[in-house]
Homo-oligomer: A and B are copies of this chain.
């Protein structure tokens, strides 16, 4: 009814893409033997290192985020090896299953659906692994389903404290390009991400950064899949095709180049501050709404909340009804619950990548309208509160 305008798809990925990123794909197929393409790809790998704050290698894949799980595991582990998966929501379970598919032994350490990974439990478990059977610890910096963000440096410290030499593998699909991440400083061995969230590019590319300890494990592998093998991808010596083991994803490269240009122009710290502020604006609104009614954010601990995605409990089937109202009547598409029970009680807001204050405030005000339209009890003044967060941050930022 009031939706006939520019829609805002506020799902937690694929995220809103800048016009310039899309425009970069609006071009004919290039000559894939043009040296300019290799130079552009080199510049992309350089900037991906900048983004992850690492001097190590990065391999590019035509893939989605799940594929990077398999790519990373395959490069370092053989059937029979074991991993410890820190489960903070939904996606770690898929990752664990991916490992099982490769014949890898999986041990789950579960933290529920609203708590981050606990470094103390990790340390205890690793101390108990005297034989060093656990080859890698797998953790999502942010779980896209729940919005839980784990403390990667604290987990690294726990591993160090335990004196265990398992690799630390961090899935940053939902966090990279949105919030603080320092691969080398934090001692992350392998970082994973993909194009379609903080990187503001259509889905279709995945990235695996790997440090020297990971590279060393790769060297010990036999029968490495040519397609997953990260070595020639990270250090190609025979043309563009080696970056991708075959035809390069030319149009994604052009798009990603533009996205990285935008990110470099804004700066990592500015990007983080923007996301942090917008996340806090959302939290402030929900704080007000929850004063009178059931609306609440899934993750109670603010320090464990993602700055890129927020899962909200509305109760009953309000998550579903509210989402339908905002989409059909107001032009705002919210994310559905994922792994939530009942799903209809939940909804998610994606606030990652190409998002600014007017978009997020518009989403919140639209939710306010929906709550009113559906006669859902909720505290008033939420948008003023959210606006206040941004107003304050604008003076101190």
A residues contacting B by CB (< 8 A) are 1-9, 11, 13-19, 22-23, 25-33, 62-67, 69-70, 74, 79, 94, 97-98, 101-103, 194, 196, 202-204, 222-227, 229, 244-252, 262, 266, 270-271, 273-274, 277-278, 325-327, 329-333, 335-336, 353-359, 361-366, 368-370, 372-373, 380-384, 386-388, 390-395, 397
Contact = CB atoms under 8 A, between A and B. Distances in A.
Contacts of A66: 226-227, 245-247
A5 B16 contact: yes
Contacts of A355: 5-6
A6 to B, nearest CB: 6
Most buried by B among A67, A101, A266, A363: A67
Contacts of A262: 4
Contact of A357 (B94, B336, B366): B366
Contact of A196 (B23, B29, B103, B368): B29
A252 B204 contact: yes
A271 B273 CA distance: 39
A64 B102 contact: no
Contacts of A16: 5-6, 28-29
Nearest to A245: B66
A3 B227 contact: no
A250 B202 contact: yes
B356 A6 contact: yes
